[in-house]
Amino acid sequence: MSAVAHYEDIDLALFAMHLLDGEGHRAVADHVSGCAFCRQELARLQGDLAACAYGIEMHSPGGAVRERILHRIAREKKAPPVEAVEPPLRTKAVTPTEELNEPKLEFRTRNGSHATVARRGRDAEAEVRTHRRSDGHLLKDIFLWLGWAVAAGMAVVGTRMYHERESYKARLAAQTGEVEQMRDDSAGSRRLLETITDTSSQQVLLSGAAEETGKSAPEGRVIYLASKGALILLANNLAALEPERVYELWLIPADGRDPIPAGTFHPDEKGNGSVVLPPLPRAVQAKAFGVTVEEGNGTQSPTMPIVLAGG
């Protein structure tokens, strides 16, 4: 059981990224195995590290982490790795016994200088292994750190590509909606023009009584193309209505059926109102048209009185 009460977050983070040396790594591992609190903190840190691969942008390491890593690199540089080179040619003859008992090894350091180590037996080999092991730990730490950096970079790139794709899809959907709207507007314009110019269109004048003396009486005009169920109403001099009431146009069929609702509207401040191409069944011959005042969004049967009528 470790004598440390609890390890700090920075130590646990380095442990999670495998950046501690052998003794430090084993000490933290032994402690975490018996400390529920540190084990929970380690799990949280490992989750945070894993999450960085799914969208957390890459940042420079924190001050404490950076100092610890630089300190470790500086400590490793104190014992520079060496490379074994071929021993120099001997200038004097030696016996086989001397060659075995006193091996001389020459090493070349990173700065290009040479050092000769004369050790007996396994001592010289142990020093070579020590230097190589030190260098190996340093390279391992650097590659582990680079691995996390590359993973975070790939996550940033992947997240950016995902957002760009979603943005492109949104723009495409908006453009598609605009195209459809233009197509609908174009079709509506053609239908409106056909209704007005078709010689078989029925044109009916509507009239009503003035509500107040001295004011013009309301009037309107309906253009109706029965074969296509297309209708246009233009009205003026209409009285203003409360927001909860509307004017509703009715088509009176020639075959005696019940009146068909043909659209609702609110007049503007000048008393003008219109209904343009409401949804109507085709091939219904009209006997007359009328306009009433209804509650809400209109009804399925007219409410008296009729304020505009004609046929």
pTM of the model: 0.44
* Pairing between β-strand 245-253 and β-strand 230-236 as defined by DSSP bridges: unpaired
Inter-CA distances, 107 with 111, 125, 132, 263, Å: 12, 12, 12, 99
CB 125 within 8 A of CB 82: no
What is the chain's pLDDT, residue by residue, as a tens digit (311 residues)?
456 688 887 788 778 877 787 888 888 888 888 898 888 888 887 777 766 655 555 555 566 766 777 777 777 655 555 444 444 554 455 555 554 454 444 445 444 544 444 444 455 555 545 555 555 555 555 555 555 665 666 655 566 666 666 665 676 666 566 556 656 677 778 888 888 899 999 999 999 988 776 789 999 999 999 999 999 999 999 999 999 999 999 999 999 999 999 999 999 999 999 999 999 999 999 999 999 999 999 999 999 999 999 98
Inter-CA distances, 307 with 219, 230, 303, Å: 9, 23, 10
Q: How many Cα neighbours within 13 Å face the side chain of 16? A: 22
Q: How many Cα neighbours within 13 Å face the side chain of 262? A: 30
For the sheet with 202-207, list strands across it. 260-265, 245-253, 286-295, 306-310, 202-207, 219-225, 230-236, 273-276
**Is cis: bond before 87, omega within 30 of 0?**
no
Cα separation, 92 vs 145, in Å, equals 51
> How many other CB atoms are there within 10 angstroms of residue 27's CB atom?
18
Residue with tokens 């023009």: 193
Domain annotation for the chain: domains and CATH numbers: 202-310 (2.60.40)
* Residue 130 φ then ψ, to 5°: -65, -45
pLDDT digits (tens, 9 = 90+) for 180-222: 665 667 777 888 888 889 999 999 999 998 877 678 999 999 9
Sign of CA dihedral 6, 10, 13, 15: negative
